[in-house]
């Protein structure tokens, strides 16, 4: 009896109850495959976009860009002029570049979340691009390092102009060549622009912070050439790329997907250039610059141009490529792939512009590494 028990125990221990071949599959890693491709479609466009979310208001002009500033203040309608000694505009420079400017009463209502060089709000154009204003200046000054307070001729204006200032604010136009900046209404309280009222009685003062502000930016003729593929800020410059991914099996796991190109730096007012890739959700071929895109970036980076010309921009878009390859229709085609936009992120960042080469060794390339699931070993 004991012998029979021992024999049964030995058979139980020695027997491999797993399916045949399991020990060979354990830890097996399929061979990775790789491919490199160029875009099958590529285009670029420029678009005026609202910049009112920026904490800095760009002000200046050079051979390629011009920037003006809009501000609105909650001035009381009941301000008694005979009790006021003076009215001042107080601004905080965002940098130390010297810039002289002049202020005008804005004559058209505007919305900071929609105002651009062309549009006063989401439905109405400016009568003149760059903002509408009354012709008589209400003051001017020079931005440098420190807080600037300038007297504005609010008290001298007639009732209609004073009402325009209360309702529509002021437009600031640069007088010098070069660029500077002013802290905006979205900055911290200590940095916001304000109107300071100085009263005759005991020199009392009252301040009214800006509750809305926006820079208006435009490119000047010749700065942007029609056939260039561009990425840039201020005036939004976006490049659209689409890669044909039909050769990647839908069952593949994307291990690596890198979009790279060697940019040609055309303009910058900052040492680092923020950029991002966004997935298009509508057909660019059908809707062009009006095609919608995912608000959440698929990839982003900060590009720091080097002194040499071999600096390469590299985006990790593995998750985006995996989304496209896994989302095939019943025919196996990646119909969800409308391509991607390369754009400044955010588009109100300090002004810059780069060119993406159309061809040659620096042109955009997508390098993909992927693995396939193990082939079935059993039937």
Whole-number pLDDT of residue 15: 41
- The answer to the question of residue 161 being in a domain is yes
Please indicate, yes or no, whether residues 60 and 206 belong to a single structural domain of this protein. yes
**How many residues are recorded in the chain?**
379
- The answer to the question of residue 20 being in a domain is no
Q: Which of 219, 253, 279 is where one domain is finished? A: 219
Whole-number pLDDT of residue 332: 59
- The answer to the question of residue 367 being in a domain is yes
Whole-number pLDDT of residue 77: 76
Whether the CB-CB separation of 264 and 364 falls below 8 Å is answered with no
* Partners of 71 in the β-ladder: 170, 213
Q: Which of 219, 242, 267 is where one domain is finished? A: 219
Q: How many CB atoms lie within 10 A of CB 98?
A: 12
How distant, in Å, are the alpha carbons of 5, 65, 150, 180, 216 from that of 174?
100, 12, 15, 9, 12
Whole-number pLDDT of residue 231: 97
Please indicate, yes or no, whether residues 303 and 249 belong to a single structural domain of this protein. yes
Instruction: Measure the CA–CA gap between 107 and 334, rounded to whole angstroms.
Output: 51
Structural domain harbouring 41:
33-48+234-371
- The answer to the question of residue 26 being in a domain is no
Please indicate, yes or no, whether residues 205 and 70 belong to a single structural domain of this protein. yes
Whole-number pLDDT of residue 224: 84
Please indicate, yes or no, whether residues 193 and 275 belong to a single structural domain of this protein. no
Please indicate, yes or no, whether residues 178 and 247 belong to a single structural domain of this protein. no
Please indicate, yes or no, whether residues 155 and 173 belong to a single structural domain of this protein. yes
Please indicate, yes or no, whether residues 67 and 101 belong to a single structural domain of this protein. yes
Please indicate, yes or no, whether residues 40 and 74 belong to a single structural domain of this protein. no
- The answer to the question of residue 171 being in a domain is yes
Whole-number pLDDT of residue 4: 46
Please state the domain count of the chain: 2
Instruction: Measure the CA–CA gap between 216 and 117, rounded to whole angstroms.
Output: 5
Whole-number pLDDT of residue 223: 80
Instruction: Measure the CA–CA gap between 242 and 228, rounded to whole angstroms.
Output: 17
* Partners of 300 in the β-ladder: 276
Please indicate, yes or no, whether residues 171 and 248 belong to a single structural domain of this protein. no
- The answer to the question of residue 378 being in a domain is no
Q: What six digits make up the tokens of 301?
A: 């980076």
Whole-number pLDDT of residue 309: 57
- The answer to the question of residue 25 being in a domain is no
Q: Is 9 helix (H, G, I), strand (E, B) or coil?
A: helix
pLDDT tens for the chain, 379 residues long, are: 444 444 444 444 344 433 333 334 333 345 678 999 999 999 999 999 999 999 999 999 999 999 999 999 988 877 667 788 889 999 999 988 899 999 999 999 999 999 999 999 999 999 999 999 999 999 999 999 899 999 998 878 888 888 889 899 999 999 999 999 999 999 988 999 999 988 887 778 889 999 999 999 999 987 888 889 999 999 999 999 999 998 898 889 999 999 999 999 999 999 999 999 999 999 999 999 999 999 999 999 999 987 655 689 999 999 999 999 987 665 656 668 999 999 999 999 999 999 999 999 999 999 999 998 877 555 5
Please indicate, yes or no, whether residues 44 and 74 belong to a single structural domain of this protein. no
Q: For residue 262, which of 216, 231, 225, 222 has the smallest C-alpha distance? A: 231
Q: Which of 189, 219, 249 is where one domain is finished? A: 219
Task: Phi first, then psi: give them for residue 362, nearest 5 degrees.
Answer: -95, 0
Whether the CB-CB separation of 338 and 241 falls below 8 Å is answered with no
Whether the CB-CB separation of 66 and 217 falls below 8 Å is answered with yes
Please indicate, yes or no, whether residues 257 and 192 belong to a single structural domain of this protein. no
- The answer to the question of residue 228 being in a domain is no
Whole-number pLDDT of residue 16: 40
Please indicate, yes or no, whether residues 68 and 84 belong to a single structural domain of this protein. yes
Instruction: Measure the CA–CA gap between 116 and 100, rounded to whole angstroms.
Output: 22
């Amino acid at each position: 009896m004991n012998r029979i028990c021992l024999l049964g125990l030995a058979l139980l221990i020695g027997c491999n109850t797993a399916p045949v071949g399991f020990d060979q599959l354990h830890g097996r890693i399929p061979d990775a495959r790789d491919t490199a491709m160029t875009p099958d479609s590529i285009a670029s466009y420029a678009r005026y976009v609202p910049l009112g979310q920026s904490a800095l208001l760009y002000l200046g002009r050079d051979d390629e860009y011009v920037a003006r500033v809009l501000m609105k203040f909650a001035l009381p309608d009941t301000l008694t002029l005979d009790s006021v000694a003076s009215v001042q505009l107080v601004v905080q420079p965002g940098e130390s570049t010297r810039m002289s400017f002049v202020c005008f009463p804005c004559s058209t209502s505007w919305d900071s979340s929609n105002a651009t060089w062309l549009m006063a709000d989401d439905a109405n154009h400016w009568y003149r691009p760059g903002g509408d204003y009354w012709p008589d200046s209400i003051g001017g000054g020079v931005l440098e390092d420190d807080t600037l307070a300038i007297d504005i001729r609010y008290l001298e204006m007639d009732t209609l102009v004073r009402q325009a200032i209360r309702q529509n604010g002021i437009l600031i136009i640069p007088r010098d060549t070069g660029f500077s900046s002013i802290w905006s209404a979205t900055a911290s309280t200590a940095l916001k622009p304000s109107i300071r009222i100085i009263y005759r009685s005991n020199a009392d003062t009252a301040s009214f912070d800006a509750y809305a502000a926006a820079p208006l930016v435009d490119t000047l003729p010749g700065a942007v050439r029609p056939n260039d593929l561009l990425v840039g800020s201020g005036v939004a410059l976006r490049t659209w790329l689409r890669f044909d991914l039909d050769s990647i099996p839908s069952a593949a796991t994307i291990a690596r997907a890198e979009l790279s190109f060697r940019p040609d730096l055309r303009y910058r007012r900052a040492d680092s250039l923020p950029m991002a890739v966004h997935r298009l959700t509508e057909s660019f071929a059908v809707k062009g610059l009006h095609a919608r895109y995912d608000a959440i970036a698929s990839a982003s980076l900060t590009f720091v141009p080097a002194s040499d010309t071999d600096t390469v921009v590299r985006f990790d878009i593995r998750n985006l490529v995996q989304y496209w390859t896994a989302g095939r229709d019943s025919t196996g085609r990646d119909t969800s792939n409308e391509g991607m936009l390369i754009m400044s992120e955010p588009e109100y960042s300090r002004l810059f512009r780069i060119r993406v080469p159309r061809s040659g060794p620096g042109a955009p390339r997508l390098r993909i590494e992927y693995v396939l699931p193990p082939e079935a070993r059993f039937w």
